[in-house]
C-alpha cells in the first residue's frame, strides 16, 4: 500500500515519528509513600539546643497537711520537677542533575520535555523524606528518631527519663487476653488507662488495617453468622443476620484510626493532644557548591516525635491473628 500508512514502520510513509506515543504528559504515582503521621500532631519549634526540654511536674507541695491550733507551721515545701529532653533526627536527600541533562531538557521547558524531571526529583525527594519520618514515628524507637511505640510503653528510657525509675512516665501496657482482639480487651485498656496514676483521656485508637478488620469481625458483620442481631425464621434455620448497631469506626466513643505501617500486633490508645512533633528544621532545599558541571541539591529537615505525658496513652500487644 502506498502513501502514508499505519503499517509502515519506517520511511517517508510511516507515522512513527509523528506519534506522541513515547509517554503521556503526566506521571502516575505507583510508589507507596506513608504520610499518615505528621499531619496528626501539633508542631513545636525547637527553642535552641539539640533537644526540646520540657519540665515535668510530678509531685506537689509536701508541706500540705492539717494542723491544730497552736501547731508550729513547719518547713515550706515545694513542687517537684524533672526535665524530659526530647531529641530530634535530621533527615537528608541528595539530588543531582548534570549540566548536560539540564541543557538537553531545557531546564524542564514544555517544548523539550513532558515533565520537569529535575523539579520532580526534588519534589519526590521531599515525599521520600516524609515517608521515612512517618515510618520512624510509627516505630519502637526510644532514642532519636523516637517512635510512637517507644513512647507508649511500660519500660525503657525515654527523653532521658527511665520509666522504671520514674513510674509516672510509664504507659499502661498489657498483652491481649488472646491472640485476637476482643471487646473486653479494649474496654479493659480504656478503664485501666483512665484510672490513677495513668489518668488517660483517650481520643483515638491507632492500629493496623488488619486489626481494624478483626475488630469488625468481633463486633459482627451483617449477613454473617457472627452478626450480633439475628432474627430467627421458622425454627431458627435459616436466620436473618442484621447489621451491627455499633458503628465499628468507634469503640467506646473513641474513633479507631487504622494506620498503614503500624505494627500489626498492637492496639494503641492515644491521648493525641499530648503528642507533638518537634521541628528543629523545616524541609529546606539548598543548592550545594559546584565541584563540576552538575547542580547538586541537598534536601534536609529535622523532626522529632515527643509526648507530654506518655502515661496518658496505652498499648495492647500480642495480637497475632
Partner 1 sequence: MFDDQLLSHGSAQARRRAVASVINARLHAGTFNYTELMTQPEPLLSDGMEILDGVMVENNIPKYQMGPVETWDGQGIVLVHIHPQGHILGDVVVKERVPGTNQFRSVKRRRDFGNAAVISDVPGERIARAMLYRSGWPIMQARTNGAAMGSVIEWRWLEREAASPDAAEEVVKLYAEIITRKGFLELGVYAPADQSKIKTPGERRAGASP
The footprint of partner 1 (CB under 8 A) covers 55, 58-60, 62-63, 74-78, 80-83, 85, 154-155, 157, 160-162, 164-168, 170, 172-175, 192, 195-197, 317-318
State the nearest-atom distance from the C-beta of 221 to partner 1, in Å: 29
Residue 114 burial (CB count, 10 A): 15
Least distance from C-beta 281 to partner 1, angstroms?
24
Q: How far is the CB of 63 from partner 1 (least distance, A)?
A: 7
The vertex-114 CA angle with 112 and 119, nearest 5°, equals 90
* Minimum distance from residue 161 beta carbon to partner 1 (Å): 7
Smaller CB distance to partner 1: residue 50 or 120? 50
Round to whole Å and give the CA distance between 139 and 309: 18
81 vs 104 by CB, closer to partner 1: 81
DSSP 8-class letter at 64: -
- What is the spatial distance between Cα 86 and Cα 304, in angstroms, rounded to a whole number? 7
Q: Are 117 and 105 in contact (CB under 8 A)?
A: yes
Of 41 and 46, CB closest to partner 1: 46
Distance CA 233, CA 236 (A): 5
Least distance (Å) between residue 80 CB and partner 1: 4
Give the shortest CB-313-to-partner 1 separation in angstroms. 15
Q: Any idea which residue has 520540657 for its cell?
A: 54
Q: Which is nearer to partner 1, 142 or 271 (CB)?
A: 142
Cell of 126: 521531599
If the CB atoms of residues 143 and 232 are measured against partner 1, the closer one turns out to be: 143
Question: Minimal CA–CA distance to 183: which of 152, 148, 160, 214?
Answer: 214
Nearest to partner 1 of 174, 217 (CB atom): 174
Question: Which residues in 27-65 are b (16+ Cβ under 10 Å) and which e?
Answer: eeeeeeebebbeebbeeeebeeeebbebebeeeeeeeee
Amino acid at each position: 500500500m502506498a502513501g502514508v500508512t499505519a503499517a509502515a514502520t519506517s520511511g517517508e510513509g510511516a507515522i512513527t515519528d509523528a506519534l506522541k506515543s513515547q509517554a503521556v504528559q503526566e506521571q502516575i504515582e505507583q510508589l507507596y509513600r506513608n504520610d499518615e503521621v505528621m499531619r496528626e500532631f501539633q508542631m513545636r519549634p525547637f527553642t535552641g539546643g539539640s533537644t526540646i526540654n520540657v519540665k515535668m511536674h510530678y509531685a506537689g507541695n509536701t508541706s500540705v497537711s492539717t494542723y491544730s491550733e497552736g501547731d508550729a507551721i513547719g518547713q515550706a515545701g515545694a513542687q517537684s520537677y524533672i526535665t524530659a529532653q526530647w531529641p530530634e533526627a535530621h533527615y537528608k536527600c541528595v539530588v543531582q542533575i548534570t549540566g548536560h541533562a539540564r541543557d538537553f531538557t531545557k531546564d524542564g521547558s514544555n517544548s523539550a520535555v513532558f515533565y520537569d524531571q529535575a523539579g520532580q526529583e526534588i519534589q519526590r525527594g521531599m515525599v521520600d523524606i516524609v515517608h521515612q519520618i512517618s515510618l520512624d514515628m510509627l516505630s519502637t524507637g526510644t532514642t532519636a528518631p523516637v517512635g510512637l511505640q517507644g513512647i507508649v510503653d511500660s519500660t525503657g528510657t525515654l527523653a532521658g527519663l527511665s520509666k522504671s525509675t520514674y513510674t509516672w512516665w510509664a504507659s499502661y501496657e498489657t498483652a491481649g487476653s488472646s491472640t485476637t482482639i476482643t471487646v473486653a480487651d479494649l474496654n479493659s485498656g480504656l478503664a485501666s488507662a483512665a484510672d490513677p496514676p495513668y489518668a488517660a483521656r483517650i481520643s483515638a485508637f491507632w492500629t493496623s488495617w488488619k486489626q481494624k478488620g478483626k475488630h469488625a469481625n468481633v463486633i459482627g458483620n451483617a449477613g454473617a453468622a457472627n452478626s450480633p442481631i439475628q432474627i430467627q425464621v421458622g425454627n431458627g434455620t435459616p436466620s436473618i443476620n442484621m447489621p451491627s448497631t455499633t458503628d465499628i469506626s468507634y469503640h467506646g466513643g473513641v474513633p479507631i484510626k487504622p494506620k498503614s505501617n503500624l505494627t500489626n500486633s498492637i492496639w494503641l490508645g492515644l491521648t493525641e493532644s499530648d503528642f507533638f512533633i518537634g521541628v528543629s528544621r523545616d524541609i529546606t532545599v539548598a543548592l550545594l557548591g559546584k565541584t563540576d558541571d552538575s547542580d547538586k541539591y541537598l534536601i534536609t529537615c529535622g523532626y522529632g516525635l515527643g509526648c507530654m505525658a506518655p502515661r496518658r496513652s496505652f498499648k495492647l500487644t500480642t495480637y497475632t491473628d
